[in-house]
Structure 1
Amino acid sequence: MARTALWKGIAGTLAAEVAQGHFPIGARLPSEAELSVRFGVNRHTVRHALADLAERGLVHARRGAGVFVLGRPTDYPLGRRVRFHQAMESGGRLPSKQLTRRETRPSDAKEAQALGLATADAVLVVEGLSSADGQPLAVFRSVFPVARLPGLAAAFEGESSITRALAAVGVADYTRASTRLSARAASTMVALALRIPEGAPVLRTTSVNVDGAGVPVEFGITWFAGDRVTLTVTPEGV
């Protein structure tokens, strides 16, 4: 391994050990001196690796006390029924969602195709940030057909839950018809929202949700912080 990449290898090893539960939430990592001995490098290299973990939101340093684990990757199921709050609470995490944009505009070609609309038909665009235990996990964009869901914009007034907003306009249940998963490098804005370095790995899901009659009601794109979430494909009935 090239000398300049040593800190990346150390950071990757420690991140993996946090993910596997070797260091529980709140645990103190070994000291810089101990890590230097373990990996056979100087303290500057170890410090660089720890700074990378802190920048990714995995650890934080307490002056004079050491470096402590903030969290480990959150399991997130990709099933037919995916509800963020339910998924987080089942894993013992405290979920929260903040909406940052709510706007009605003409659809673009990709949105129109996913929702079965004509290009330029009106859509409601809702964007926001999903967090667990106060740590940002994902940035999302949900696009809804306006004519098909009258009153939805008003339903989002003071409401951050997509499930409750859809229920308010008559969509009592919806399921995931398709999902595409890909790896990306975080753009400037995604990195800023997730508090990760620009270019850090993110997992992007592109999905279409349908109502009980199989009619598309949501086209969604979500960018997950790559080292904070483990995406799990669940059985079709879930």
Structure 2
Amino acid sequence: MRNGSGKTPIWKAIADALRSDIAEGRYGPGDKLPTEAALAERFGVNRHTVRHGISALVEEGLVRTRRGAGAFVAATPTDYPIGNRVRFHENLIAAGRRPEKRVLALEERAATRGEAHALQIEAGDPVCAYHGLSLADGQPIAVFESLFPLGRLPGIPAALRATSSVTQALLRVGVDDYIRVSTRLTAVRATATNALLLQVAEGDPLLRSSSVNQSAQGAPVEYGRTWFAGDRVTLTLGG
């Protein structure tokens, strides 16, 4: 992605600048971007370089083009509150987006030492791992893995097969309510597999969230790790 001098390629810098303009609201959904000629003048480059930068945004799903009409903003980052009551569907509906979850895999396996510590179980105890993809208006915004202690929630695999909603699945196994008791955010780079799922380039910036949810009785019921596409979600702190 970098040239021999170690500097960022101009086309990528242009894509980054336009991505920031969209994230900050300078251009909203449906807005037309400046013409290639105007952007070439703004950045002091030729139109071919501008076209390369716009193509990168088209591949990400942030921009769409129409022959003879120009380039238009297809989506803006989704506000996603992080607090003690995080609910995927409610968050996206509140942001005016259409939520969707796709189940990638459900497996039962032994908990690692770190997972066991988060769930307050013993290393090697059985957990149900739920791997999935979160989308807003059909665009992938996050890859996630949620772990549930099988000793505490023996019916959770069947519940998750019946519904992709964690809240509804927990309700089916007797967890009427739960709250987020910890969240840790870390900036990471997209792996090849996450890049493929999120439709970004390998090495692009992601924001990883590690969190623990517990029941009203104080027992951990879910340990989750989520990789958010950094330019498609704005995480906000709330109650």
TM-score for the superposition, normalised by structure 1: 0.94
Which of 157, 160, 176 is residue 180 of structure 2 equivalent to?
Answer: 176
Rounded Cα–Cα distance in structure 2 between residues aligned with 1:118 and 1:133:
40
- Residue aligning to 2:132: 128
Q: C-alpha displacement at 1:57, in angstroms?
A: 2.0
Task: Report matched runs for 1:40-59 at 5 Å.
Answer: 40-59=44-63
- Residue aligning to 2:71: 67
Residue segments in structure 1 that go unaligned for 5+ positions in a row:
none
Structure 2 counterpart of 1:195, one-letter code:
Q
- Residue aligning to 1:157: 161
- Work out whether 1:38 is the aligned partner of 2:46: no
Q: C-alpha displacement at 1:158, in angstroms?
A: 3.0
Rounded Cα–Cα distance in structure 2 between residues aligned with 1:2 and 1:166:
49
- Work out whether 1:193 is the aligned partner of 2:193: no
For the aligned residues, what is the CA RMSD?
A: 1.5
Rounded Cα–Cα distance in structure 2 between residues aligned with 1:20 and 1:4:
22
- Residue aligning to 2:151: 147
Q: C-alpha displacement at 1:207, in angstroms?
A: 0.6
- 1:111-139: per-residue Cα shift (whole Å, max 9, x none)? 11111111111100001000001110000
Rounded Cα–Cα distance in structure 2 between residues aligned with 1:203 and 1:169:
31
Please identify, of 166-175 and 63-72, the stretch whose mean Cα deviation from structure 2 is larger.
Answer: 63-72
**Identical amino acids, percent of aligned pairs:** 53
Question: 4+ residue runs of structure 1 moved beyond 6 angstroms?
Answer: none
* CA pair 175-103 structure 1, distance change in 2 beyond 3 A: same
Structure 2 counterpart of 1:103, one-letter code:
E
Rounded Cα–Cα distance in structure 1 between residues aligned with 2:138 and 2:67:
22
Q: C-alpha displacement at 1:51, in angstroms?
A: 1.6
Rounded Cα–Cα distance in structure 2 between residues aligned with 1:177 and 1:216:
9
* CA pair 3-185 structure 1, distance change in 2 beyond 3 A: closer
TM-score for the superposition, normalised by structure 2: 0.94
Residue segments in structure 2 that go unaligned for 5+ positions in a row:
none
- Work out whether 1:106 is the aligned partner of 2:115: no
> Which secondary structure does the structure 1 equivalent of 2:162 belong to?
coil
Structure 2 counterpart of 1:184, one-letter code:
V
